[in-house]
Amino acid sequence: MLKLKPNCECCDRDLPPDSAAARICTYECTFCADCAEGVFHGTCPNCAGNLVARPIRPAAMLARHPASTERHLRAQPCATAG
């Protein structure tokens, strides 16, 4: 089951579970659409996999399986990513 991480690992933007702006790779590295496209050009900087839209978990299922509250940040922020 997806963790639904709460933030962009690059710029720390909030990405709530229903965010259409969340992008993930196969390892669930999580980025906002702006960083995924503008900084990383659709490729995960951690594993080199592609970044795709994160599915939205229906509200009824969030009650049973809540999103993660643990924030993750890359050691190298957007400004120095490349």
The one-letter amino acid at 67: A
Verdict on whether the full-model pTM lies above 0.75: yes
Query: pLDDT tens, 24-73?
Result: 999 999 999 999 999 999 999 999 999 999 999 999 999 999 999 999 99
Q: Would the pLDDT of 19 be above 70?
A: yes
Strand partners, 43: 50
Dmax of the chain from CA atoms? 39
Domain ranges of the chain: 1-68
User: How many angstroms separate the CA atoms of 15 and 22, rounded?
Assistant: 6
Q: Which residue has the tokens 């993930």?
A: 24
Fold of 1-68: Herpes Virus-1 (3.30.40)
Tokens representing 8? 């962009």
